């Protein structure tokens, strides 16, 4: 098997030999080429045997160091090996002769071909040139322990582990997508996407280097340049132990979206808006802000986002389920929105909906639209303890003929993918949809059946919107599309929409589905990537300013001509 043409073997340069003359050049004399020790399989065929190898130390790691030689002429074998040594006696750049027993040591998801009980002799100084990678290799095993440089496009995927573990996740070639965003769970396409994501995902750590300035504040999708170091296998996956600081080309923050149309409808997951007792006390709460100061910062971010969306109606998810009085969370949010004299109102369902600690809600601009009748809710079955109770409200533009221009917004928040207490078909089926897929699918079917009865009496133009906790090709969303609901982003011709970044992978948990009649009126659809790409340091708990990272979900906005 030949290696990809994107891999260029480096030369190994050695300084004049200090101790035993030029016979100490790696690969000469009594030494076995490291590639022959590594072999073509995941495990060395020489395990348990004693060998002598020569090379140059490329990196120090926990419990030992990496040694690389000039190569054996076989591009299908790695030219590096790990030498186990509790207290390393060498430094990067040392040319050494090492004699020890070949072993396969645990290294997270796989093993690391190593020398143990090694006798080490320093023979001079050398240099290991980095192997240039312009794309992810077909098999990282062939590069185990080798020094490489990532020359192809490298994107910051997730920086959540930067402060905790000193590492960031990057993707090679292009950004990563959730496999079930574009492929049916368990399908061949799904499995191919999983495999491709695995090959293109690398963790960068700074055991022997510094981070570029600004990395902690950089958005996902920022470009990383010049990442150079030693490839290793870890519990998280393939890692690159950096030996020099890479460069950073930070992705810019996007402006608020502008969509055509005279009617604008939006949706926003608030990521647990809890307001204590509503009078400045009662903190910390069950979820969300832990202090009055954090609540003020959280509200400021939500207000900035909602004002930026410039919507007439906004569906909300993850509101505290604490009634509709002056002390309620939804009243607190509307008061904050009206601080500048705006005329926001909230839809009052009198109680709930549902008895979950969080609920959905609807707010609207009373100077632009009016409500038609009371809100309707769907209780029972999966709705309540798990999937939050949907709420539907009919609206019409002010001074419009309600019979011609009425529309309905249905706010939804289906059960999450968390596996706590999952039983039977709600358990993870190992197809990519995670836990509670069956419950979310049943929620979708019941929602469609309920809306088919036209509970508000104005249902010809209806928008199903909210956090369905399912990616675009998972069964809950497919069930709604197959029932006739149209994906607003497909209707609008948007390419590659996403609202959520999890494990460095992009996808849509937040959806906007239209009745056929309302789809005819759609003029545009957009997501504002104000949240999902932002690091945690931009959030209200860390004191980040502006609308950024008010939530872990991006808001969406649709434009219609009613």
pLDDT at 12 over 70: no
* DSSP designation for 194: H
Residue pointed to by tokens 């609901």 = 485
CA distance 240 to 234: 10
Q: Which pLDDT does position 402 carry in this prediction?
A: 83
**H helix or E strand, kind and range, residue 202:** strand 201-205
Averaged over 515-537, what is the pLDDT? 97
pLDDT at 324 over 70: yes
CA distance 540 to 300: 9
Residue 28: pLDDT band with limits 50, 70, 90: very low
**H helix or E strand, kind and range, residue 478:** helix 475-482
Q: Read off the pLDDT of residues 206-260 as tens digits, 9 standing for 90 and up.
A: 867 789 989 999 999 999 999 999 999 888 899 999 998 999 999 999 999 999 9
Q: What percent of the chain has pLDDT over 90?
A: 88
CATH number of 263-560: 3.60.10.10
Does 152-249 match 7-129 at the fold level?
yes
Estimate to the nearest angstrom the gap between the alpha carbon of 206 and the chain centroid: 21
Q: Which fold has domain 7-129?
A: OB fold (Dihydrolipoamide Acetyltransferase, E2P) (2.40.50)
Residue 57: pLDDT band with limits 50, 70, 90: very high
Q: What percent of the chain has pLDDT over 70?
A: 94
Q: Which pLDDT does position 206 carry in this prediction?
A: 82
Q: Which pLDDT does position 236 carry in this prediction?
A: 87
CA distance 545 to 205: 28
Phi, psi dihedrals of residue 189, rounded to the nearest 5°:
-65, -40
pLDDT at 410 over 80: yes
pLDDT at 494 over 50: yes
Largest CA distance in the chain: 96
Q: Read off the pLDDT of residues 87-103 as tens digits, 9 standing for 90 and up.
A: 999 999 999 999 999 99
CA distance 331 to 335: 6
Residue 107: pLDDT band with limits 50, 70, 90: confident
* DSSP designation for 550: S
Residue, of 210 and 148, whose pLDDT is higher:
148
Task: Give the domain ranges of the chain.
Answer: 7-129, 152-249, 263-560
Q: Which pLDDT does position 144 carry in this prediction?
A: 94
CA distance 67 to 59: 8
pLDDT at 551 over 80: yes
pLDDT at 284 over 60: yes
CB atoms within 10 A of CB 536: 15
Left, alpha or beta for 427 (phi > 0: left; psi -120 to 50: alpha)? beta
CA distance 180 to 342: 41
CA distance 425 to 442: 11
Q: Which pLDDT does position 296 carry in this prediction?
A: 97
Q: Where would I find the H helices in 314-379?
A: 329-337
Residue 19: pLDDT band with limits 50, 70, 90: very low
CA distance 162 to 284: 27
Residue 25: pLDDT band with limits 50, 70, 90: very low
pLDDT at 7 over 60: no
CA distance 296 to 300: 6
Phi, psi dihedrals of residue 418, rounded to the nearest 5°:
-60, 145
CA distance 200 to 191: 14
Tell me which architecture the domain covering 152-249 has in CATH.
Beta Barrel (2.40)
CA distance 523 to 558: 8
CA distance 207 to 260: 50
CA distance 453 to 457: 9
Q: Taking CA 404 as the corner, what is the angle to CA 400 and CA 406, rounded to the nearest 5 degrees?
A: 70
Q: Which pLDDT does position 13 carry in this prediction?
A: 39
């Amino acid at each position: 098997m030949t290696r990809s043409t994107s891999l260029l073997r480096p030369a190994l340069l050695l300084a004049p030999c200090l101790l035993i003359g030029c016979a100490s050049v790696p690969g000469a004399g009594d030494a076995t080429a490291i590639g022959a020790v590594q072999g073509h399989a995941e495990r060395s065929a020489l395990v348990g045997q004693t060998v002598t190898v020569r090379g140059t130390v490329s990196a120090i790691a926990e419990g030992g160091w990496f040694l690389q030689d000039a190569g054996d002429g076989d591009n299908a074998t790695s030219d590096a090996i790990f030498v186990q040594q509790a207290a390393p006696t060498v430094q990067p750049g040392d040319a050494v002769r090492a004699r020890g027993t070949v072993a396969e040591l645990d290294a997270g998801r796989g093993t690391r071909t190593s020398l143990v009980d090694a006798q080490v002799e320093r023979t001079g100084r050398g240099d290991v040139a980095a192997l240039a990678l312009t794309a992810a290799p077909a098999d990282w095993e062939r590069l185990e322990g080798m020094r490489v440089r990532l020359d192809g496009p490298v994107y910051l995927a997730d920086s959540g582990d930067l402060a905790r573990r000193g590492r960031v996740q990057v993707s090679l070639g292009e950004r990563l997508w959730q496999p079930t965003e574009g492929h049916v769970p368990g399908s061949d396409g799904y499995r191919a996407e999983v495999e491709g994501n695995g090959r293109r995902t690398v963790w960068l750590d700074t055991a022997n280097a510094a981070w570029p300035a600004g990395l902690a504040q950089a958005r996902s999708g920022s470009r990383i340049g010049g990442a150079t170091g030693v490839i290793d296998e870890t519990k998280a996956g393939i890692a690159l132990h950096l030996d020099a600081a890479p460069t950073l080309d930070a992705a810019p923050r996007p402006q608020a979206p502008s969509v055509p149309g005279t009617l604008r409808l939006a949706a926003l997951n608030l990521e647990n808006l809890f307001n204590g007792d509503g009078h400045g006390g009662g903190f910390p709460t069950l979820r969300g802000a832990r202090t009055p100061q954090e609540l003020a910062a959280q509200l400021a971010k939500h207000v900035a986002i909602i004002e930026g969306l410039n919507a007439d109606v906004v569906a909300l998810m993850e509101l505290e389920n604490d009634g509709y009085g002056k002390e309620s969370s939804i009243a607190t949010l509307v008061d904050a929105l009206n601080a500048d004299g705006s005329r926001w109102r909230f839809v009052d369902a009198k109680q709930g909906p549902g008895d979950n600690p969080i609920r959905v809600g609807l707010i609207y601009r009373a100077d632009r639209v009016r409500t038609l009748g009371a809100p309707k809710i769907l209780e029972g079955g999966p709705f309540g303890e798990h999937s939050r109770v949907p709420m539907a409200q009919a609206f019409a533009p002010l001074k419009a003929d309600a019979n011609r221009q009425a529309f309905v917004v249905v706010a939804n928040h289906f059960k999450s993918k968390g596996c706590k207490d999952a039983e039977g078909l709600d358990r993870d089926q190992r197809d990519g949809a995670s836990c509670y897929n069956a419950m979310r699918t049943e929620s979708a079917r019941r929602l469609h059946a309920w809306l088919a009865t036209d509970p508000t009496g104005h249902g010809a133009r209806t928008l199903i919107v909210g956090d369905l906790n399912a990616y675009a090709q998972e069964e809950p969303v497919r069930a709604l599309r197959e029932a006739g609901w149209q994906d607003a982003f497909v209707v609008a011709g948007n390419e590659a929409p996403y609202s959520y970044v999890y494990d460095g992978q992009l996808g849509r948990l937040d959806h906007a589905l239209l009745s056929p009649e309302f789809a005819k009126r759609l003029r545009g659809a957009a997501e504002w990537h104000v949240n999902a790409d932002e690091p945690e340091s931009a959030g209200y708990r860390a004191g980040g300013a502006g609308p950024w990272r008010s939530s872990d979900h991006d808001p969406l906005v649709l434009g219609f001509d009613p």
